[in-house]
Structure formats: C-alpha cells, structure tokens
C-alpha cells in the first residue's frame, strides 16, 4: 500500500492543535451519522496504521489486509466510539487485528499470482530494505512484549498519552516501558555493532 497521505497536522510541540482536534471531532460526529463522511478520517490515519501493521506483520500483503480490516472494524464500530483520542482508539483496534493475524495460519498463495509482473523495487533496493527490516525486526523481537508494543506504537507516530490509551496503561507506565526499551535497544545494537 503506497499512499501519498500526509500525517495529521501537528504544531511544533508534537501535539495536535486545538483546531485539528475540533475538526476531527466534527468529522467523527458526521461519520457516525453518515459512513460516507469517514473518508477524511481514513485519509488522515491510513498511512500510520499501515506502517504499524507492516512493522508488526513483516509483509506488505499482510499489512494491507490488516489495515483494511482495521478501518472496516473502525467504521462498523464508530457508533460505539465515545470520545478520547481517536488515534489511540484506531491503534487499539490495529493492535487486536495484528494480534489475531498472528494466530491465524498464513493464507495459501494463488497459483496464478506467479504470472503477474512484480512492481517491487530493484533487487538491490529490496535486499537493503529487507536487511534493515530484519535488523529492526530482530532488535524489536529481543524486547519483552510490553516494551515492544510501546516502541512499535511510538514508531507508528502515537504520543505517550495515545499509547497509554491504546494499551490501557498509565502514561507513566508507558514512559517507563519506552525508557527501558530504548536502553535495551541501545545495548543490543552496541553488542551487534562493536565498531560504532
């Protein structure tokens, strides 16, 4: 899923501005009455949700499927949304979709899929991206599950408060988990790269 969607507008502090939040709340209210009004919310968050799913699931196809499922569930459950951070609510759904995806057996590939042209990057670009992805994935996999979830959500662009809401934790607990995760990642990276 390659999109040209820009992340949510933010001011210099990293927090959404009051106007952005008011606009988002109004868009949510319109979407609760008319599902067709959900498109701007999708456009605002699709790229962030996709990157989170891609990081967690490891493949483009699985991330695209998971992203689609997240927004299908979000649209279906929008009537039950009762306020708070919309991003945290979406990422809580994404977390459950990704967790459930890990429990299912992978789908069988289609026989005809091999005959389709591959729009992927060049072999060299793919090899470099794969190596970086494996390194990142391996480092994240070495973290305890709670720390890994916090880092993955942070990499997806959520603030500490949004992560806390998505995981049902306090902001202080999230900040502590993030601090411990970063300390552990530095140690793991230093062990893998003694020349740095």
Taking the CA atoms of 34, 37, 38 and 41 in sequence, report the sign of the dihedral they define.
negative
Q: Domains for the chain: give ranges and CATH numbers.
A: 16-82+90-104 (1.10.1740), 124-196 (1.10.10.10)
Whole-prediction pTM value? 0.54
CA distances from 82 to 25, 95, 170 (A): 11, 19, 19
What does the pLDDT look like over 129-188, one tens digit per residue? Answer: 667 667 777 888 888 999 889 888 888 888 889 899 988 999 999 999 999 988 998 888
- Strand, helix or coil at 59? coil
């Amino acid at each position: 899923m390659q999109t040209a969607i820009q992340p949510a507008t933010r001011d210099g502090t990293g927090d959404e501005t009051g106007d952005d939040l008011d606009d988002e709340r109004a868009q949510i209210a319109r979407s609760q009455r008319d599902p067709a009004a959900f498109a701007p919310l999708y456009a605002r968050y699709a790229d962030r949700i996709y990157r989170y799913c891609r990081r967690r699931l490891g493949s483009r196809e699985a991330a695209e499927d998971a992203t689609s499922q997240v927004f299908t569930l979000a649209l279906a459950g929008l009537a039950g949304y009762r306020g708070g951070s919309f991003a945290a609510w979406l990422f809580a759904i994404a977390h459950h979709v990704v967790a459930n995806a890990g429990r299912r057996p992978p789908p069988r590939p289609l026989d005809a899929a091999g005959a389709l042209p591959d729009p992927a990057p060049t072999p060299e670009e793919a090899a470099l991206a794969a190596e970086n992805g494996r390194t990142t994935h391996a480092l994240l996999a070495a973290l305890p599950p709670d720390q890994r979830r916090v880092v993955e959500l942070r990499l997806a662009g959520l603030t500490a408060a949004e992560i806390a809401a998505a995981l049902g934790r306090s902001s202080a607990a999230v900040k502590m988990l993030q601090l411990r995760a970063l300390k552990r990642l530095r140690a793991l990276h230093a062990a893998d790269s003694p020349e740095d």
